[in-house]
Structure 1
Amino acid sequence: MTVSRRVQRVERELREIVSVFLISGVKEPLMGLVTVTRVSASPDLRHAKVFLSMMASETEKQENLEILKSSAKIVQHLISKQLPMKFCPKISFILDKGFENAELVEQRLKEIKKGSEE
């Protein structure tokens, strides 16, 4: 299923708004490096999943995620002020494990290459 241009534009705008919020709007400081990797909005734009990459320990990642989940209403308020839409999407923050998985695969490939050279 293809995503409409409107949904793609809204996803880009949501990514920008959330990124700015992470830099300057979070009340409690986040631990480690937190990056918005992508935003996935539903076709009706009532829900949006914000995928985050974090360079921190597992406990810090969970703490950051809890801080952001508790700040979801604030983010939704910012979105409603900055995007002229009929409905403001309900935001869900999700930890993106894509980079961790890619790193693990790369590490395994290096081990295999090292084993074949011996």
Structure 2
Amino acid sequence: MATDRRVSRVASLIKREVSQMLLSDIKDDRVGAGMVSVTDVDVSRDLQHAKIFVSIYGTDEARAETMAGLKSATGYVRSELGHRVRLRRTPEVVFLEDRSIERGTRILSLLNQLSEERKHHEAEESAESMDSGDEIDSSQSEA
């Protein structure tokens, strides 16, 4: 149980420190090509490996460029983490692109589109039932 808490605490520290490095310390222009944010950090139970998930806003080209910049900055990031986060052994670091925000935005867009289509369809049905109701009323008044 204490190990899980420690892993979680280390992941949180790494997330905070890498976020700070992205803002001010990594000088690679490719990393600045797209807006980058650390969305999650997954640290192995033995604290030897850290997967750093990043969300990158921009074109596919900008995202690829940013990932290349992050990959080349991996050694620097690991070294800095060694100085900033006191651990016996600094974990191996790997950056992975997190596209869940993009997928979530797409899903929300599709849900909104479906909602609008449903409203439009219901409005058409309502108008049609009103039209057919008028015909019934006029035939009843003739009788």
TM range (shorter): over 0.9
Aligned residue among 65, 88, 92 for 1:86 = 88
Cα displacement string for residues 7-61 of structure 1 (whole angstroms, at most 9, x for unaligned residues): 0110011011101110111122211211111111011110001111111111100
**Larger CA Rg, structure 1 vs 2:** 2
Cα displacement string for residues 47-95 of structure 1 (whole angstroms, at most 9, x for unaligned residues): 0011111111111001000101110010110111122211111111011
**CA RMSD in angstroms, aligned pairs only:** 1.1
Q: What TM-score comes out, normalization by structure 2 length?
A: 0.78
Return the structure number with greater helix share.
2
- What is aligned with 2:78? 76
Q: What TM-score comes out, normalization by structure 1 length?
A: 0.93
- What is aligned with 1:26? 26
The answer to which of 40-49 and 77-86 deviates more is: 77-86
What one-letter code is carried by the residue in structure 1 that aligns with 2:7?
V
What one-letter code is carried by the residue in structure 1 that aligns with 2:18?
V
The alpha-carbon deviation at position 111 of structure 1 amounts to 1.2
Q: What CA distance in whole angstroms lies between the structure 2 residues aligned with 1:35 and 1:111?
A: 28
Alignment of 1:10-49 (within 5 A): 10-29=10-29, 30-49=32-51
Instruction: Tell me the percent identity.
Output: 28
- What is aligned with 2:125? none
Q: What CA distance in whole angstroms lies between the structure 2 residues aligned with 1:61 and 1:20?
A: 19
SS in 1 for 2:87: coil
Larger RCO (CA within 8 A; separation ≥ 6): 1
Aligned residue among 82, 99, 114 for 1:112 = 114
SS in 1 for 2:89: coil
Unaligned 5+ runs, structure 2:
121-143
Runs of 4 or more, structure 1, over 6 Å off, are none
Unaligned 5+ runs, structure 1:
none
